[in-house]
Structure 1
Amino acid sequence: MSKVKTNAMRILDSNKIDYKILSYETKKGEHIDGVEVAHQIGRDVSEVYKTLVAQGSSKNIYVYVIPVNENLDLKKAAKVANEKNVAMINVNDINKFTGYIRGGCSPIGMKKIYKTFVNESAIDLSTLIVSAGKIGYQVELAPTDLQELINCEFKDIVK
């Protein structure tokens, strides 16, 4: 297999951030959820995070990064974003807002810089795993490195 370099990996490299690439098998057109990704890479679901994109009542876009086995609490998500409410964007709009596709959306290297919130459980981890920006690839890095890179806030945002 050729060495894959995604935009997220290039950004990590250019910022001299240590990370590990993890890959998993996927069939073309097949969607597997984050829990299955965790199993395939042999990691606990509490270490693997998914990237969700929502829009506030102000029309601002927000990014939420939560453990793959958890669900975003929209009330908490709205509160941390100082919005009356937030709603998940339509899956067909993910590429339009982020430059990524469903199943390969990374909090690193989106088209624009959006206010990003990572569930506070990440603070207790030595490393967390997020999408590398391409289906089949994940990156593992320190939560503090992710925070420094994307200027995210750690908040309680899950149900």
Structure 2
Amino acid sequence: MKINKTNAARLLDKAGITYELIPYEVDESDLSAVHVAASLGENIDQVFKTLILHGDKSGYFVCVVPGEKEVNLKMAAKASGNKNCELIPMKELLPTTGYIRGACSPVGMKKHFPTYIHHTCLDFPYIYVSAGQRGLQIKVAPKELINEVKAEVCTLFDE
């Protein structure tokens, strides 16, 4: 099966980053990272989801967290230099990032936003993030991803 490269994959190629594009079966009724991890047969702690938040001081920013975790808004606000923040409404996702729900990649958004990734990513030789389309994940070394998206490693939920 030929896998068409996404914009996120082309950007990783341009940066000289080693990665794999991994397809999975999409379930339109369940776009969760838990479903993605199950489809890939991978540990849910290695399948990260990309969330877009809006802070009262910084504006838009990105949080990348393990798939079944919920970002702690107070911790995300603190990490990003805001007093408070909230997830953006779904209708703002495509115009803000260029991505749709279930396919939001931390790589290759319409513009670069400050990005924060949960520190457990460093516990693994590789993690998965969306490749920018439903049914396709990028398998990449966390340090490579962190460098490419200029992410700050921090704590984004209570452990």
Q: Which residue does 2:127 correspond to in 1?
A: 128
1:100-132 superposed Cα distances (whole Å, 9 cap, x missing partner): 000000000000100000001111211111000
Instruction: Compute the RMSD of aligned alpha carbons.
Output: 1.1
Residue pair 2:51, 2:64 contacting (<8 A) in 1 also: yes
Deviates more, 1:50-59 or 1:129-138: 50-59
Residue pair 2:104, 2:132 contacting (<8 A) in 1 also: yes
Instruction: Report the TM-score, using the length of structure 1 for normalisation.
Output: 0.95
Instruction: Report the TM-score, using the length of structure 2 for normalisation.
Output: 0.95
Letter in 2 for 1:5: K
1:21 counterpart = 2:21:
yes
What is the aligned residue count? 158
| In 1: Cα distance, 2:58 partner to 2:150 partner | 21
CA apart distance, 1:58: 2.3
| In 2: Cα distance, 1:57 partner to 1:128 partner | 30
Structure 2, unpaired ranges of 5+: none
CA apart distance, 1:3: 2.2
Q: 1:96 aligns to what SS in structure 2?
A: helix
Residue pair 2:55, 2:85 contacting (<8 A) in 1 also: yes
Residue pair 2:115, 2:150 contacting (<8 A) in 1 also: yes
1:40-96 superposed Cα distances (whole Å, 9 cap, x missing partner): 011000100000000001261010000001000000000001101001000111011
Q: How does 1:57-72 map to 2 (within 5 A)?
A: 57-58=56-57, 60-72=59-71
| In 1: Cα distance, 2:153 partner to 2:127 partner | 13
Structure 1, unpaired ranges of 5+: none
Q: Which residue does 1:4 correspond to in 2?
A: 4
In the TM superposition, structure 1's runs of 4+ consecutive aligned residues that sit over 4 Å from their partners are none
Letter in 1 for 2:151: C
Q: How does 1:6-155 map to 2 (within 5 A)?
A: 6-26=6-26, 29-58=28-57, 60-155=59-154
| In 2: Cα distance, 1:72 partner to 1:42 partner | 24
Change in Cα spacing, 1:7 to 1:112, as seen in structure 2 (3 Å) is: same
